[in-house]
Amino acid sequence: MTVANMDINYVKSVRGEKVPDYAVFYKGEKLVFEIGGAGKTGKQLKGLHVKQRYILSQPCDVKTSLPLLSVGFLA
């Protein structure tokens, strides 16, 4: 899917698999996103060799994640 000049790919294929939820390609860079609730940790993001890794959650702890609703402002 392409939104706002970004290619967005859903990565998971098996429920419970320890991989991030989405990979986004923007301006030649790969960004990885994990989506979850208030208790979401970065376990799925560990070991990835990607510079930009983000956790989106609602509600969010601003020290460790970004608000999930911020994605709505991209379109």
Tell me the pLDDT tens digit for each residue of 55-66: 888 887 777 788
State the residue range of the domain holding 45: 2-73
Does position 25 have pLDDT exceeding 90, yes or no?
yes
pLDDT of residue 29: 92
pLDDT of residue 75: 59
Does residue 33 or residue 13 have the better pLDDT? 33
User: How many separate domains does the chain show?
Assistant: 1
CA 1, chain centre distance (Å): 15
* Reported pTM: 0.77
